Amino acid sequence: MYQAFREAFQDYSVITWPNIRRTFGDFDPKNLVYWQRKGYLIRLRNGHYALAERKITELTLFQMANLLYEPSYISLETALSYHGIIPEAVVLIQSVATPKTYRVSTPLGEFQYRSLQPRLFLGYQLIPQTQGPAIRMAKPEKAILDFLYLRSDIHDQPAFEALRWNKDLLSNLDFEQLHNYTEWFDSPTLSRKVQWLKKYRYA
């Protein structure tokens, strides 16, 4: 039975209970417990599993982040690192989501989700993958705004400059797009932070 299960889901970064029921209608859930004990399967969260043999890359973790809590997309420090705006690698995979703020701890990685209103669930791109679904990743302009909007500790120009973002990459931003997204937030505080961004970029 496990061989058939493995072949059916070998390209899945996350295997959900609905996936299993659609593929094996008479599936016995006790198999999942047994396969975890045997080391074949890893439980990520309730109803979400991964094959233990699957090679885990950064992109695999991004796919997992999209699937473990939906709807969501990669953003904040993780997206800023992906786009090269911040130099350091980020261990915690950070996303924004329309449900409540949430955190998932798994044997494969840590995933954090910050809540945004549904009207702000935009500004992401789909990054195709050779295996599994495309990754929902914030565009650099939206990742910046998500970050600034959710960080109340960035309260003045010096605090912004202390972030030490890559000025060369900031120069490549689509500022028209940035302003369009900013209007969706309808936040005077965020608009003020965008002005700090502009000053920092040309300093």
pLDDT digits (tens, 9 = 90+) for 86-144: 987 778 999 999 999 999 999 999 999 999 999 999 999 999 999 889 999 999 999 99
CA distances from 46 to 34, 52, 92, 93, 111 (A): 16, 16, 20, 19, 15
- Does 65 share its domain with 143? yes
CA 103/CA 69 separation, integer angstroms: 9
pTM, whole model, 2 decimals? 0.93
What number of other Cβ atoms are within 10 A of residue 134's Cβ?
12
Query: Residue 69 gets which letter from DSSP?
Result: S
The percentage of residues in the chain with a pLDDT greater than 90, rounded to a whole number, is 92
Domain containing 35 equals 2-51
Examine the domain organization and report whether 20 and 97 are in the same domain: no
Mean pLDDT on 167-194: 95
And the tokens for 105?
């701890």
User: Nearest 5 degrees, angle CA 150-CA 164-CA 89?
Assistant: 75
Residues 195, 108 share a domain: yes
* Residues 22 and 108 grouped into a single domain: no
Q: Which residue has the tokens 């493995």?
A: 6
Same domain, 42 and 77: no
**Rounded CA separation 109/95 (Å):** 13
Out of 62-71, 167-176, 183-192, least confident range: 167-176
pLDDT at 132: 87
Same domain for 96 and 138: yes
Quote the number of domains for the chain. 2
* pLDDT range class, residue 80, cuts 50, 70, 90: very high
- What per-residue confidence (pLDDT) applies to 89? 75
Based on the domain organization, do 121 and 21 belong to the same domain?
no
Cα–Cα distance measured from residue 94 to residue 73, given in angstroms and rounded to the nearest whole number: 9
The reply to whether 43 and 98 lie within a common domain is no
User: Are 70 and 166 part of one and the same domain?
Assistant: yes
Q: Are residues 129 and 179 in the same domain?
A: yes
Question: Nearest to residue 84, comparing CAs of 168, 153, 147?
Answer: 168
> Does residue 198 share a domain with residue 134?
yes
For a pLDDT cut of 70, what percent of the chain falls above it?
Answer: 100
For residues 184 and 93, membership in a common domain is answered with yes
* DSSP-H helix ranges across the chain: 2-9, 17-23, 30-38, 58-68, 76-82, 140-150, 157-161, 167-170, 175-185, 188-202
